[in-house]
Amino acid sequence: MPPIRLALLLGSNRSPRFCDTVAAWAHAEAARHGGYRVDVVDPRTLGLPAALPPAPDLPTLRLRRRLAAADAFLVVTPEYNHGYPAPLKQTVDAAQAEWQAKPVAFVGYGGHSGGLRAVEQLRQVFCALHAVPVHDSLLFPGAAARFDAAGRPPDADACGRAMQAMLAQLHWWSAALRQARAERPYRANAA
């Protein structure tokens, strides 16, 4: 089977940001799985306009092409004030059909909540876009203090097993939905 094309979306755009550490670990886990080819989508480098333009500009079209090429999405996001960061919503809102009938998985991190509230809110957002959130998620409370200097999460073996389980779910849905989309285009507004 050809590899699943995975768009790994970063939720934070500030500098410095802990997102780089968590995303690097998630990226390495996707490589360890062996069934993915990863495209890292970083809000810092997308150059999206501050306000949604009436017609998509060049950076928006470039982003949409990358998302359209993806079979699956993995969102790595912190929690800000009991929600997900604004730059992530900006990335999500820049596209529409590109999300449809594709699975999405989440890695959250933050302070006390570990990103739980951000991830649960994102499930609603992606359902509104006809994407398919997978069951599992990875959550890291107190992440900045608990990842080690080499970028490993606490209890790295257990976290690695949990991440591989989630990546396996995501891969199953990606393959199934890629075939389904090829056989019969998804129509979001079918009567």
Residues at the contact surface with ligand FMN, assessed by CB under 6 A: 12, 14, 17-19, 78-82, 109-113, 143-144
CB of 138 to ligand FMN, least distance (A): 14
Q: Which is nearer to ligand FMN, 79 or 98 (CB)?
A: 79
Q: Which is nearer to ligand FMN, 113 or 174 (CB)?
A: 113
In sequence order, what DSSP letters do the residues of the chain get, joined into one string? -PPEEEEEEE----SS-THHHHHHHHHHHHHHHSSEEEEEE-HHHH---SS--SS--HHHHHHHHHHHH-SEEEEEEE-BTTB--HHHHHHHHT-SGGGTT-EEEEEEE-STTTTHHHHHHHHHHHHHTT-EEEEEEEEETTHHHHS-TTSPPSSHHHHHHHHHHHHHHHHHHHHHHHHHHHHS---TT--
Q: Which is nearer to ligand FMN, 81 or 189 (CB)?
A: 81
CB of 55 to ligand FMN, least distance (A): 31
Are 107 and 76 in contact by the 8 Å Cβ rule? The answer is: yes
CB of 58 to ligand FMN, least distance (A): 27
Q: Which is nearer to ligand FMN, 64 or 89 (CB)?
A: 89
Q: What type of residue sits at position 91?
A: T
CB of 137 to ligand FMN, least distance (A): 14
Q: What type of residue sits at position 134?
A: V
Residue pointed to by tokens 């080690």: 148
Q: Which is nearer to ligand FMN, 125 or 132 (CB)?
A: 125
CB of 190 to ligand FMN, least distance (A): 38
